[in-house]
Amino acid sequence: MRILVANDDGIFSPGIKALAFALRELAEVNVVAPDVEQSGVGHSITFRRPLRFKHTASAGFGEIPAYRVDGTPADCVVLGSRLLGWPDLVVSGINIGVNMGLDLTHSGTVAAALEGASMGIPSIAFSLDASGEELRFEEAAQYAVLIARWVMRHGLPRKTLLNVNFPNQTPRGFRITRLSTHRYEDTIVEREDPEGRPYYWVAGKPTAELEEGTDFWAVQQGYISVTPVTLDYTNHAFARELEQKFRV
């Protein structure tokens, strides 16, 4: 059995190290990660320029084969699967910070798992609530092993991945959740560069909405949130409705 480990925080992130080392007890592990941070790039694929795929001894993975790519998280999964042997499982993370609700549309962490799922490989994205005092990656990685073991044993439906978020405390257990529909209240911060020209930071705070049963709610309550996510974007019910009434 072979597991491919990717992320979007880059190959030097402590989150991917904890995950890769913990998963060794389940299978042969290969690490393929971006050479610099790629948070927020979503499911971008690099196809207008060549990519480098370099073995990296200096990133602290010891015996685990680790490669860095000058591309996106999805690039890492595409290259890693083809160059290092087809994986039985793709995992991504552990991301520094949660990926919940509409975060999934720009998360590079989740995109790596989406890429794996679209290739027909069972895939899991892992993220950790980074709002606490310390980042408990080793502890989260132990729970990640339990989830990965379950998935390797039972598989996942076609075009479906698991999106997992860890709380910033010792977890109270697992909750199967749905994605919350929180959105960000965008704030634009305007500053001035040394020449006096304006530049902008796009920032945002999630609007608080703690509906029971959502990923946000579970993590807030101290649970590990496990959301099954499908690649199928079609609103099937509305498609049937449209068929009846769409006349232009």
In the window 9-68, what residues touch Mn ion (CB under 5 A)?
9, 39
Q: Which positions from 187 through 246 interact with Mn ion, judged by CB under 5 A?
A: none
Minimum gap (Å) between residue 103 Cβ and Mn ion: 10
Whole-number Cα distances in Å, 38 to 3, 26, 34, 167: 21, 27, 7, 23
Nearer to Mn ion (CB atom), residue 36 or residue 83:
36
Residue nearest to Mn ion (CB): 39
What span, in angstroms and rounded, lies between the C-alpha atoms of 16 and 32? 10
- Give dist(CA 29, CA 124) in Å, integer: 15
**Dist. CA 160–CA 110, nearest whole Å:** 12
CB count within 10 Å of CB 35 equals 18
CB nearer to Mn ion: pick between 39 and 180: 39
Of 9 and 75, which has the nearer Cβ to Mn ion? 9
CB 16 within 8 A of CB 33: yes
Please report whether residue 165 would count as binding Mn ion according to CB under 5 A. no
Kindly state the smallest distance separating residue 143's Cβ from Mn ion, in Å.
Answer: 19
Cα–Cα–Cα angle for 229, 7, 180, rounded to 5 degrees: 30
Least distance to Mn ion, CB of residue 163, Å: 14
Q: Where are the beta strands (DSSP E) in 35-110?
A: 53-55, 66-69, 89-96
Stretch of residues binding Mn ion (CB under 5 A), selected from 6-14, 44-52, 59-67, 145-153:
6-14
Query: Which residues, 68 to 97, sit near Mn ion by CB under 5 A?
Result: 95
Query: CA-to-CA distance for 32 and 54, rounded, in angstroms?
Result: 9
Place of tokens 């980042």: 135
Q: How far is the CB of 26 from Mn ion (least distance, A)?
A: 24
Give whichever of 95 and 180 is closer to Mn ion, judged by the CB atom: 95
The least CB distance from residue 8 to Mn ion, in Å, is: 4
- Minimal distance in Å, beta carbon 38 to Mn ion? 7
Residue 8 interacts with Mn ion (CB under 5 A): yes or no: yes
Residues that bind Mn ion (CB under 5 A): 8-9, 39, 95
